[in-house]
Chain A
Amino acid sequence: MAIFADKNSRIVIQGITGREASMVTEHSIAYGTNILAGVTPGREGQSIHGVPVYDTLKRACQEKKLDTSIIYVPPAFAYDAVMEAIDNGIKLIVIVTERIPRHDVAKFLSAAEEANSVIVGPNSVGILNPEDRIKLGAIGGDRAERCFTPGEVGVISRSGGMTAECSWMVKRAGFGVTTSVSVGGDPLIGTPPKNILGMFERDPKTKAVVYWGEPGTNFEEDMADFVREGGFTKPLIAYIAGRFVEEMPEGTVFGHAASIIQGDTGKPSKKIARLRKAGCSVAENFNDIGDILKEVLVI
């Protein structure tokens, strides 16, 4: 089992003819992911690595009955593409695009909520389910096997790059992942980590979750409260990066746009204390994740 996507997912890439999207299409197909269609207005009739391109998502949906979309559209046009996905009944929308204006993001998040569409991202590197060889987005690159092997650990990360690195740390410790999810590094995102914990709780195959956290937002505090209230009962192993940011003048941003401390909000030390109080393991060193996993996953 996995969360978000499996063999039954019917996948389209919006903006498929772009340089990055075309490369991702090639890598995904090589990995075994079935990309059914692509959309780029004005390019219908072409194909990208064998995937047919349609002018509109409506046309693509008529032909292919799609339910999952990966958005690779440039920031200025992303709002329209996401609305197109929502209005055509796409249930899972993974937004890879970075630097989408915040007002646009807030608008399509509100529309998605009303339509019961789930958005992951923006600024997500994607979702990967190694058992079914489903790769949504650049995640895993041209050699997904290097970092992602099937197993029993769920991975949630606020950093795209560290989604792969965390999954690799899991593999290095002798385990594998059910699903790895990059939630996106922006301040406004569709699916906060807490919601994904809930999904992993319901997934019988997932025995533990590894989490990559950063300064800024209340995501980790919400996760801790969710664990304390019994919403997530499996072992949660977290690493919170960016402790040095607390020593810097308030409001300075390092790394992702969401990684900003304002007042007491967003301090790694507070997040770590809250998670520990809720009974989660927070690794002092990133290298410790493997050892902690070995401890908690002993049968």
Chain B
Amino acid sequence: MARLLENIGKSILRDNGIVTPDFKIAKNQEEAVVAADELGYPVVIKALVAVGKRGKAGAVKFARNSDEVRKIAKEILSMTVHNFPVELLLIERKVEISRELYVSITFDPLKMMPVVILTCEGGVEVEGIAKLEPEKVKKYHVNIREGLHLYKAKEMWSDLGLTGKSLMAAAGILHKAYLIFEKYDATIIEINPLAVGPQGEVVPVAILMGIDDDALFRQPVLSKKVIEGSDRAWRPLTALEKEMIAVDKAESYRGTARYTEMEGGNIGFLCGGGGGSLLMYDALSRFGSRPANYTEFGGNPTEDKVSGLVKGVLSKPGVKGFCMVTNITNNTQTDVVARGIIKAFTDLNVDRANFPIIVRLAGVNDVKASKLFSEAGIEYHGDDITMEDAARLMVDKMKKAYPEEES
């Protein structure tokens, strides 16, 4: 899932007929003051980062005048919110709130259907309310081929006690939000709070919106606004991670690869298969080692893609060994993978005698793969050992090569 920044989420709401408070973006104190002066006081200043729970992190604050704006802008711009350094601020006119509602639209992975969740106790974490006071939370599964009818939106808010102007407004917003969910291939739309003002007017104050990465091909406008691969990192992507995305995309028609940098560690880790990589990372950790990165590929990658990945894996500082494992492949040609690995080691001129390497690469064409590795002087295993056996061998090799090192 690619998360959209709040300004993009709010622009989408506005483009689709949902009124939101006016906002501006600022990248420094001066811009913040100009923006706030134009919007009119009081204003709210938020860190513009694509993560939730910003309020809790202290990255949402109110200002009544330009002095306060200057002070708060400086403070928030120096923050790192849930590992994301704040580079931009979103400033908007503070909304008068008499009541806070909550709306989310997402997929229920159990029923495999879209689900709408509503409560009139918004502003806080809805999970807590759902546990303590389940009667205050409304859940409705939508028949995706029918969509969400406006009457259903009215029924739900009415069941929760809304009436009059705010009922009509909240139902309209929910109905439109569902249409946006469909139109933009969203995986989640969460409006929290959806504020009810003193005159019964209803305004989305904060929105979190996620888009399905797999649908970006048909969302040309959005695809330029999301950071690819951001769903797999808990912090901004590193330079090497971005490079590896480029390696993967260079030959997007064959094989997929994902690279994540782990903290510390000394084993360069490459694995074939999403499931197998989980097993191997667990096993290497359990046997007392630490992988420095987490790289998995699937779907029959080319020699160049594999060598590009291996080079990336080995280039992370602190990597002193290489562990490459696949499950017994269904379609990945192991001889092609072998050539990619050997090419990377040759290009980088790695001293194979003093660099611990374990390869367990079984499956299609593995007789050829075995031959290639033995000619290259790299210890090779096929289905003579299990994947966990390979992890054990790797850990033992590392301990032998670097006896003084604590893992």
A residues whose Cβ falls under 8 Å from a Cβ of B: 20, 23-24, 75-76, 98-103, 105-107, 109-111, 125-126, 138-143, 146-147, 157-162, 164-165, 168-169, 172, 185, 187-189, 212, 214-215, 217-218, 222, 239, 241-245, 248-249, 251-256, 258-259, 263, 285-287
Contact = CB atoms under 8 A, between A and B. Distances in A.
Given A103-B144, A141-B329, A217-B109, A254 B281 contact: yes
B114 interface: yes
B275 A214 contact: yes
Contacts of A98: 256, 299
Given A141-B364, A159-B275, 20 more contacts: A75-B217, A98-B299, A102-B214, A103-B144, A106-B113, A106-B114, A110-B113, A142-B364, A157-B275, A159-B327, A162-B273, A168-B328, A168-B383, A188-B112, A241-B278, A241-B282, A252-B233, A253-B231, A255-B296, A286-B386
Contacts of A287: 386, 388-389
A155 B370 CA distance: 29
A165 B286 CA distance: 20
Interface in B103-129: 107, 109-110, 112-114, 127
A161 B232 CA distance: 21
A161 B278 contact: no
Q: Which of B232, B276, B279, B329 has the most CB of A within 10 A?
A: B279
B366 to A, nearest CB: 9
Given A76-B217, A161-B330, A244-B282, A188 B275 contact: no
Contact of A110 (B145, B218, B298): B145
B143 A110 contact: yes
A201 B165 CA distance: 55
Nearest to B113: A106
Contacts of B112: 105-106, 109-110, 188-189
13 contacts: A99-B214, A103-B182, A159-B274, A160-B273, A164-B328, A165-B327, A217-B109, A222-B110, A241-B279, A241-B282, A242-B282, A244-B285, A255-B296
Q: How large is the interface on B (under 10, 10 to 19, 20 to 34, 35 or more residues)?
A: 35 or more
Contacts of B363: 141
A241 B109 contact: no
Chain A's interface: helix, strand, loop or mixed, by majority?
loop
A130 B182 CA distance: 42
Given A103-B185, A161-B327, A286 B278 contact: no
A242 B285 CA distance: 11
Given A138-B331, A251-B234, A287-B386, A106 B278 contact: no
Interface string B238-279: 000000000000000000100010000000000011111111
Contact of B330 (A75, A138, A252): A138
Contacts of A162: 273, 275-276, 279, 327
Interface of B: 82-83, 107, 109-110, 112-114, 127, 143-145, 182, 185, 187, 212, 214-215, 217-218, 231-234, 256, 260, 272-279, 281-283, 285-286, 294, 296, 298-300, 326-331, 363-364, 383, 386-389
The 10 closest A-B pairs by CB, nearest first: A159-B275, A161-B273, A255-B274, A249-B234, A101-B215, A242-B278, A241-B278, A162-B275, A165-B327, A161-B327
A110 B83 CA distance: 39
A214 B279 CA distance: 9
Contact of A161 (B107, B110, B274, B386): B274
A240 to B, nearest CB: 9
